[in-house]
Amino acid sequence: MKWNVRTLFTGEREELPIQDTLDLSGLEWSGEHPLVKPVFVHGAVTGAGSIVVLRCTVEYTFEGSCDRCLAHFSRGGTLEAEHLLILSEADSEDENAIVVGDSYELDLDDVVQTDLCLEMPIKRLCKPDCKGLCPRCGADLNEGECACEGSETDPRLEALRQLLQ
Ligand SMILES: [Zn+2]
Ligand SMILES: [Zn+2]
């Protein structure tokens, strides 16, 4: 949704509460659509003199296939975003600043989508210590050791291990 923030620049109001539900399901990341669930945004745009700032909390659910075990996973997360809003590029050297231009329109979808892209993990894992699949039989090692793992154990060592238990 686009939010008109003109009154904050003119000083007619000091705060504009922001609450939005975004559909970012079209966003593609590494061949998948990680944000199929709605993204919730709440916060405010505040104005103090010529300084207008957007502060918001973004609640998202990241969906994907694990790079190691291929299982589908879904993980919720929150992101705190803060951006200075400016009328033109020349107004600030802050790289995170958002230019609203003459229309005074803040495109929240665009801002949140850009912020979330920076949050995307380089490696998609269902959990940090995912054991992945056995390269020999393809079994999911998170569910336990597969048969090939056992057959590699030296039977003499196995006997010793049982003796020590
Ligand atoms: Zn996994
Ligand atoms: Zn195996």
Q: Where are the domains of the chain?
A: 2-130, 132-165
**At 145, which amino acid appears?**
E
- Give distance in angstroms: CA of 45 to centre of ligand 2: 55
The pLDDT value recorded for residue 110 is 95
- Give distance in angstroms: CA of 27 to centre of ligand 1: 22
3-state class (DSSP) for residue 99: strand
The pLDDT value recorded for residue 123 is 86
The pLDDT value recorded for residue 132 is 95
The pLDDT value recorded for residue 30 is 82
- Give distance in angstroms: CA of 147 to centre of ligand 1: 19
- Give distance in angstroms: CA of 17 to centre of ligand 1: 39
- Give distance in angstroms: CA of 161 to centre of ligand 1: 30
Q: Which ligand is nearest to the CA of 123?
A: 1
3-state class (DSSP) for residue 143: helix
Residues of the chain with pLDDT under 70: 149-165
The tokens for 161 are 């291990």
- Give distance in angstroms: CA of 39 to centre of ligand 1: 24
Q: Are 47 and 9 in contact (CB under 8 A)?
A: yes
Helix runs in the chain, H state only: 6-10, 108-119, 147-151, 155-164
Q: What is the model's pTM?
A: 0.79
